[in-house]
Structure 1
Amino acid sequence: MNQSPPIRNVALAFLAHPDDAEFLCAGTLLRLVEHDWEIHIATATAGDCGSITLPADQIAKVRRGEAATGARMLGATYHCLEESDVNVVFDKTANRKVIDLFRRIAPSLVFTHPRLDYMSDHEQVHQLARSAAFAYSIPNASPLPLLPGSTIPWLYYCDPIEGCDPYSGKVVRPTVHVNITQVMDRKSEILACHASQREWLRAHHGMDEYIESMKRHGAMRGHQVGIEYAESFLQHQGHPFPRSDILSELFGINYIQ
């Protein structure tokens, strides 16, 4: 399916948890802002399991605030669907929420998790995003008004954690790289908004260097195409999604000089 330039320059990053967008695609979102795109970041959960010291309601409040602050710094609007960490499932209720979210935003470009990733929440959000991307522009799919320019969007999958298929251990081969070198400092500042997660990751994952780990991944992907930092994506090209590559059209085949 070839697609002409979108009527609505609206991008949505729909991911599982607060800070996922900052790790996985915030650099590309910043580049889209430079091209006058409207940006939305949505999470399935508020991150209610993201602490070993605070109860669920308190850490969720903290993380909603961190996510909203990061979105504002990026120039985006933040949305939360209020599902529960480690309990995200593809069911009728969640599917309804996500279709309605897409209906209100009417994105022409969507970023989400890959089909295979290190935890179930990510994989379930992948299914929810695919469903909503296909369905939201169908008139009878939601009782909400259908905005002008609503259409099946370009759909891109962010890297899995560490860039690897968790079942085979093989590095995923992306279809497009976006040069984020010039916005890496801003991406790092936005990720730093999620201060609560540095302690959580260090305690639960044995992982420190919250920002440095993000930079190392960007440097690994950048090295593959001869630049300093990149974010990499796999484009969904199945029927009836657009098969033209809007990221390459905006930023170059692999990267922008």
Structure 2
Amino acid sequence: MAERKTALAFLAHPDDAEILCAGTLIRLRELGWAVHIATATAGDCGSATLPADEIAAIRRQEGAKAAELIGGTYHCLGERDVNVIFNHEANTKVIDLFRKVNPTLVFTHPRHDYMLDHEQVHLLARSAAFSFAVPNASSLPLPEDAHVPHLYYVDPIEGLDPYTGEPVTPTTVVDISAVLDRKAEMLACHASQREWLRSHHGMDEYIEAMKRHAAARGRERGFAAGEAFRQHLGHAFPHDDLLESLLV
């Protein structure tokens, strides 16, 4: 079990964490963990009517408000929506973020997901998780206890591999039944996204959609509601299932 309790959800856009892993973040907060929610972008393409800078400012505020509800901290790296790229500049930003937060547990997008911003954030998160504790990887001070954290991938949207259409099998499903209403409250902070999702995705009731997916994942393990994850088990990463030991 981690000796220091700092969780970082690093995802592409404001509301990704609230849809995909906020219940687990709430449960970690209840265990005394520090929680950070970071997004690569401010979601500047997340409106059919407002200009980029205006919707970005709104969505930053929504992200900060959602994190504050659980005593968490919100960060935004300022990359451009639908233009997240794994390159030197972005990689440096993410490594520096990891240096500042010094996480022992990280959540990010899976390798395969419905949009490329998510897949590029996956690469950036893997890079930073592996390298932020390398002394020469950043000009920022290196925390004495920095090390490769536990790394988990959230569900792809709808729990499906976009290339095959097949359901993704998780390694861990966390019971979020008791905190589902608080997760919904966090997601409701992202009010700007209701009209955007209706306009672009043809999707309304995004909170109800989140609850339906949570119920489906929960049924797999006998819970009323669940959040699913796959643990990264590559070389140098911890192999013990920290989420299983803490929350299942």
Residue 74 (structure 1) shift: 1.9
Aligned-partner SS, 1:195: coil
**Residue in 2 aligned with 1:171?**
167
**Residue in 2 aligned with 1:237?**
233
Question: What is the root-mean-square deviation in Å for CA atoms of aligned residues?
Answer: 0.6
Structure 1 segments (4+ residues) deviating >3 Å: none
Residue 153 (structure 1) aligned with residue 174 (structure 2): no
**Residue in 2 aligned with 1:129?**
125
Residue 203 (structure 1) aligned with residue 203 (structure 2): no
Contact 1:27 1:183 in 2 (8 A): yes
**Residue in 2 aligned with 1:107?**
103
Residue 7 (structure 1) shift: 2.9
Contact 1:41 1:79 in 2 (8 A): yes
Residue 233 (structure 1) shift: 0.1
Q: TM-score, normalised by structure 1?
A: 0.96
Residue 185 (structure 1) aligned with residue 172 (structure 2): no
**Residue in 2 aligned with 1:248?**
244
Aligned-partner SS, 2:192: helix
Q: TM-score, normalised by structure 2?
A: 0.99
Contact 1:7 1:149 in 2 (8 A): no
Alignment match of 1:21 (pick from 17, 29, 36): 17
Contact 1:110 1:155 in 2 (8 A): yes
Give, in whole Å, the separation in 2 of the partners of 1:191 and 1:215.
Answer: 11
Contact 1:6 1:149 in 2 (8 A): no
- Percent identity between matched residues is 65
Per-residue CA distance 1:124-168 (angstroms, 9 max, x = gap) = 000000000000001111111111321100000000000000000
Aligned residues: 248
Residue 112 (structure 1) shift: 0.1
**Residue in 2 aligned with 1:76?**
72
User: Which stretch of structure 1 is more off in the superposition, 142-151 or 10-19?
Assistant: 142-151
